Amino acid sequence: ELKVEQNPLFLSMQEGKNYTIYCNYSTTSDRLYWYRQDPGKSLESLFVLLSNGAVKQEGRLMASLDTKARLSTLHITAAVHDLSATYFCAVTNTDKLIFGTGTRLQVFP
């Protein structure tokens, strides 16, 4: 059974600081997604990573994928309050998405 784990589960960080969220998955998958979810809202797609070594960046967020290690990272650079949300990684398994446990990020002044 494919399992997807994230750490940390909770992250409280100061504005301007950098941090990395980790996503590990247990079996091979052909693509990995990162989503953002605000409280009570739906899932907003941030990145799709397809191949080993893939790196994508959007603003203060950068995602990377190491398929050999079955590891993806979401790096936050110079955090701002607007980044406060829950971040999920998800991998495809057959046609469905298997989600990680989520990382709740809180950015404070």
**Which range binds other proteins by CB under 8 A, 11-19, 21-29, 39-47, 67-75?**
39-47
62, containing H or E segment: strand 61-66
63 near other proteins (CB under 8 A): no
Give the residue among 34, 48, 17 at the shortest CA–CA distance from 85.
34
* Shortest spacing between CB 78 and other proteins, in angstroms: 28
How far apart, in whole angstroms, are the C-alpha atoms of residue 54 and residue 72? Answer: 10
Tokens of 37: 């979810």
Enumerate the β-bridge partners of residue 85: 105
Considering only 14, 28, 45, 57, the residue that binds other proteins (CB under 8 A) is 45
* Shortest spacing between CB 19 and other proteins, in angstroms: 20
* Shortest spacing between CB 98 and other proteins, in angstroms: 7
Greatest extent of the chain over all pairs of C-alpha atoms, in Å: 42
Which of residues 77 and 93 has its CB atom nearest to other proteins in the complex? 93
94 near other proteins (CB under 8 A): yes
Give the residue among 80, 91, 79 at the shortest CA–CA distance from 23.
91
* Shortest spacing between CB 64 and other proteins, in angstroms: 19
